[in-house]
Amino acid sequence: MGIVKIDDDLHAEVRRASAVMCRSINAQAAFWMKIGMWAEANPTLSFTDIVRAELAAAQTPPADAIAA
């Protein structure tokens, strides 16, 4: 694990998002980084497609499949 320097405004956004999403600040930043990496590598995928691909990779059914 390393230290990543980000500007104060971005840190404030991560802090706000982490509170809303019930994640730690580090977990929120890691989530955004992972989604961003997927988005850069797969520019035609939507956010929903990226999350579904991550769930499939983790072999976790999406919430709509659980409810069915």
Handedness of CA 41, 14, 27, 23 (dihedral sign): negative
3 in any annotated domain: no
pLDDT band of residue 34 (cuts 50, 70, 90) is: very high
Give dist(CA 14, CA 38) in Å, integer: 19
Residue 13 has what DSSP assignment? H
For 20, the domain range is 8-67
1 in any annotated domain: no
29 in any annotated domain: yes
25 in any annotated domain: yes
Q: What is the pLDDT of residue 63?
A: 67
What pTM does this model have? 0.73
User: What tokens does 56 get?
Assistant: 């499939």
Residue 50 has what DSSP assignment? H
19 in any annotated domain: yes
43 in any annotated domain: yes
